[in-house]
Amino acid sequence: MSRRPALLAAATTALALLATLVPATAPALAETTPAERAGVRYVAMGDSYSAASGVLPLDPAAPVQCLRSIRNYPHVIAEAIGARLTDVTCGAADTGDYRGSQYDDVPPQLDALSRRTRLVTMTIGGNDSSVFLNSILQCGAAGLATLGQGSPCKDEYGDSFVTTIRTTTFPAIRRALRDVQRRAPRAEVAILGYPWIMPERVGCYPLMPVARGDVPYLRTLQRVLNNAVKRAARATGATYVNLNRVSDGHDACQLPGERWVEPVLAGTNPVIVHPNALGEEQMAQRTLAVLGRQ
């Protein structure tokens, strides 16, 4: 078999694996007393980007379906500030899993909150309506079909993904943040954007099997998603942790040691197109800086 068909077969297999794995302003943290900060009750919520799904070692206390890592950004934050962490992050979660059980043995994430909670972090929204996952899968499949040429994904789907984010994902994130604030009225709530997955213009086919013309298309889609997260935070008084600038140049097309997100092919994590340990560390550091805790 020649090298190209082998790469295409591997990329197709990896994309299939991804499909199975990733199906009122609160008082600021800085205003608490030193005694309260020493043991601040911290609840981490959210999806696979919060859980660091696939980053080893996995958390032995977590439901196996969640693929939660003890190296996720909530654990880094908790260690840095000496917080009492309750981690309910779970791979494949969407905003509906805040109010309902994601799996039989995984309670609604909101159940972890109380009036004693003082800090909440999350990354959420990317799985809502399956729009972000579907765009990656469908654009990857389209890129493989054209051997990386043209813009087959943009040509077929146009503005449909963006429209879903603006009309469905944004209000869902806003509602989730309001639900969190009602359950934990004394907590500072921080919601992170998603670190860049694709570079701005030039991709890395077939490591990321996205056609040349679809690279800026996916980048724009992610910008719209992050803007929806930002708008939801602003509408509810939550703290938005903007990762656009700090993650620029650390996308899945970069070399190991530089990239924060792993590619479809030749990556280091079994869960592809997700943050690696370096990415989780940097997401934590950015969050700490925004919260004034560095």
Residues serving a catalytic function are 48, 274
Burial zone of 224 (CB within 10 Å; 0-12 exposed, 13-18 middle, 19+ buried): middle
Say what the alpha-carbon torsion angle 271, 272, 273, 274 is, to the nearest 10 degrees. Answer: 20
Burial zone of 20 (CB within 10 Å; 0-12 exposed, 13-18 middle, 19+ buried): exposed
- Give 3-state DSSP helix, strand, coil % of the chain, rounded to 5: 50, 10, 40
Q: CA geometry: angle at 230 spanning 164 and 120, to 5°? A: 110
DSSP 44: E
Q: Which of 82, 21, 76, 78 is nearest to 47 (CA)?
A: 21
Backbone angles phi and psi of 58, in degrees to 5: -75, 155
Q: In angstroms, what CA-CA distances link 148 with 8, 114, 132, 203, 256?
A: 11, 49, 20, 9, 22
Asked if 150 and 212 count as a contact pair (C-beta separation under 8 A), the reply is yes
Q: Which of 260, 244, 240, 242 is nearest to 252 (CA)?
A: 260
* Pairwise CA distance, residues 40 & 188, whole Å: 11
In the block, residue with structure tokens 């078999």: 1
Asked if 228 and 173 count as a contact pair (C-beta separation under 8 A), the reply is yes
